[in-house]
Amino acid sequence: GCILTGPLVRRVGHARAFMVLSALIVLSNAAVGAGPHPLSWIAARALYGFAICGLFIVAQSWLNDVIANAIRGRIMAFFYV
């Protein structure tokens, strides 16, 4: 997720990347509940891991882009807690 997130954000922007990765998380959670097949669970959890990692990177970089330098440290500290 981290490797592909940078090009995704550059191509479509933070907001759309956030929406796409959020949709992948929803789909992966739905796939886990779709049936009792361990292989589909593994694939769904891999997709979830990819998407949640990318989502964290998008949120972090988005905050870095929009927050003024004077308050960035305080906001990022709150974000990490």
Tokens of 34: 């779709």
Segment 13-29, tens digit of pLDDT = 999 999 999 999 999 99
pLDDT at 36: 85
Domain borders along the chain are 2-80
Segment 37-46, tens digit of pLDDT = 899 999 999 9
pTM over 0.85: no
Closest CA to 44 of 55, 28, 30, 33: 28
Average pLDDT value for residue range 51-77: 93
CB 45 within 8 A of CB 28: yes
